[in-house]
Amino acid sequence: MAKDVKDMSDDEIRERIIRLGFDGDRRRLDKFCEKLQTDLPKGTGVVLRGSVITAERWKDEAPFDADGHGTSDLDVTLVGSQVMEYWDKEAFYIPALHTKPHGDKDPHIAPLLNPLRTALQQMVGRPVNFQATSNMILFARDVLFDQPYFTLIEPEEEA
């Protein structure tokens, strides 16, 4: 069983992310973040959630990449109101606050993000899914629903 993320320092969590999601290559994580900063609206925050943080699938507690190398996805949450405008109006769980996931199953709900998502998937060799949310919802998911996250890029006020 993996060490509980609540008992880990930020440095330990970052190392877990690099080891699991980026094949141990810190430069690949740096390039991933640079690509996100370049291609997203200025000030958009970026956090990782899911099994790359916890090292286990939520559904069945199977280890990260249990189905083979590159099979576990990276759940990327984008924080900011500007980036939420990329989603279709019908693609929100909570209007203006929290979107549905954008990935291979529903690429049509945020088509302007498809080139970025495809580039990131090629970079990391695994699926990448986007979801956009507000800081308030992100906090609530962590505290109320025990869904930890790790901030890669801090959101700015005007985002």
Could you tell me the CATH number of the domain that includes residue 85? 3.30.460
Structural domain boundaries enclosing 115? 6-153
Instruction: Answer yes or no: is 159 within a domain.
Output: no
> What's the pTM value of the predicted model, to 2 decimals?
0.91
Cα radius of gyration (the chain):
15
Instruction: Answer yes or no: is 89 within a domain.
Output: yes
Instruction: Answer yes or no: is 109 within a domain.
Output: yes
Measured CA to CA, the distance from residue 122 to residue 116 in angstroms comes to: 10
Q: Which tens digits make up the pLDDT trace of 66-120?
A: 999 999 999 999 999 999 999 999 999 888 888 999 999 999 999 999 999 999 9
Instruction: Answer yes or no: is 86 within a domain.
Output: yes
**How many structural domains is the chain composed of?**
1
Tokens of 13: 């969590």
What letters, b where the CB count within 10 A reaches 16 and e where it falls short, cover 21-45? Answer: bbeeeeebbeebeeebeeebbebbb
**Kind of pairing, strands 149-153 and 45-49?**
antiparallel
Instruction: Answer yes or no: is 98 within a domain.
Output: yes
Instruction: Answer yes or no: is 1 within a domain.
Output: no
